[in-house]
């Protein structure tokens, strides 16, 4: 194993410099395209706020765990790059399998690997909320790009639908819809 590529420094540098491909495919210049690290940060902040509100409303969820899962959910992209959702639909299972494999092989930190597996297995409520917030963060970024004049309506719509689908499975559809309305009012 290459010790340099197994360390957190490598992962952080790779994710900070990796622009999200889907935005560039839709005309957002690389200089304006959100990086994977920026997306992960936005996902984590959204997860922290959402999971905290859910916890406060009586849902049995650990907001900090949901936040950490959202923060590290794209670590595999440090090694294989960002594959746009359009390709994800065609090869999603293969991409996820490769990402999990490379994280298992390259990342030395066992706790990080455990969290990464938890997110991708999606069995815990926290992992499901983190996944919902992954899509919601993309939705938010799409709204920002639309405000700048970029045509990313397909990404905005599909991200919202994916997040809403998870919210339905979790039984928090109404909460989710109200949460998005609250976000959009600010």
What pLDDT digit, counting tens, does each position of 126-166 carry?
999 999 999 999 999 999 999 999 999 999 999 999 999 99
Q: What is the pLDDT of residue 92?
A: 59
| Position with higher pLDDT, 45 vs 90 | 45
What pLDDT digit, counting tens, does each position of 86-123 carry?
555 555 567 777 777 887 888 888 999 999 999 999 99
Q: Residue 2 above 70 pLDDT?
A: no
Q: What is the pLDDT of residue 9?
A: 82
Q: What is the pLDDT of residue 37?
A: 95
CA atoms within a 13 Å half-sphere pointing along the CA-CB vector of 52:
8
Q: Which CATH superfamily is domain 3-185 in?
A: Hypothetical protein af1432 (1.10.3210.10)
Q: What is the pLDDT of residue 100?
A: 79
User: Beta-carbon neighbour count of residue 39 at 10 Å?
Assistant: 25
pLDDT band at 125; cut points 50, 70, 90 = very high
Q: What is the pLDDT of residue 56?
A: 96
Q: What is the pLDDT of residue 77?
A: 85
51, two tokens: 């999971």
Q: What is the pLDDT of residue 175?
A: 96
| Contact present, 182 and 162 (Cβ < 8 Å) | no
Of 76-80, 94-98, 138-142, 177-181, which gets the smallest average pLDDT? Answer: 94-98
Q: Is 88 left (phi over 0), alpha (psi -120 to 50) or beta?
A: alpha
Q: Residue 62 above 90 pLDDT?
A: yes
Q: Is the pTM of this model over 0.85?
A: yes
Q: What mean pLDDT is predicted for residues 59-85?
A: 89
Q: How many angstroms separate the CA atoms of 142 and 144, rounded?
A: 5
pLDDT band at 4; cut points 50, 70, 90 = low
Percent of the chain topping pLDDT 70: 90
């Amino acid at each position: 194993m290459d010790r340099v590529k197994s360390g957190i420094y490598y992962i952080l540098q790779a994710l900070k410099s990796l622009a999200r491909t889907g935005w560039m495919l839709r005309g957002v210049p690389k200089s304006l395209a959100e990086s994977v690290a920026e997306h992960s940060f936005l996902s984590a902040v959204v997860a922290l706020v959402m999971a905290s509100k859910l916890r406060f409303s009586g849902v049995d969820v650990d907001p900090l765990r949901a936040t950490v899962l959202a923060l590290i959910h794209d670590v595999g992209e440090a090694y294989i790059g960002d594959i746009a959702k359009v390709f994800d639909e065609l090869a999603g299972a293969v991409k996820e399998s490769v990402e999990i494999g490379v994280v298992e092989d390259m990342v030395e930190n066992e706790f990080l690997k455990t969290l990464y597996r938890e997110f991708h297995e999606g069995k815990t409520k926290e992992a499901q909320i983190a996944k919902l917030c992954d899509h919601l963060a993309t939705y938010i970024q799409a709204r920002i790009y639309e405000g700048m004049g970029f045509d990313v309506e397909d990404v905005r719509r599909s991200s919202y639908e994916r997040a809403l689908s998870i919210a339905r499975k979790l039984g928090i559809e109404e909460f989710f819809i109200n949460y998005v309305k609250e976000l959009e009012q600010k």
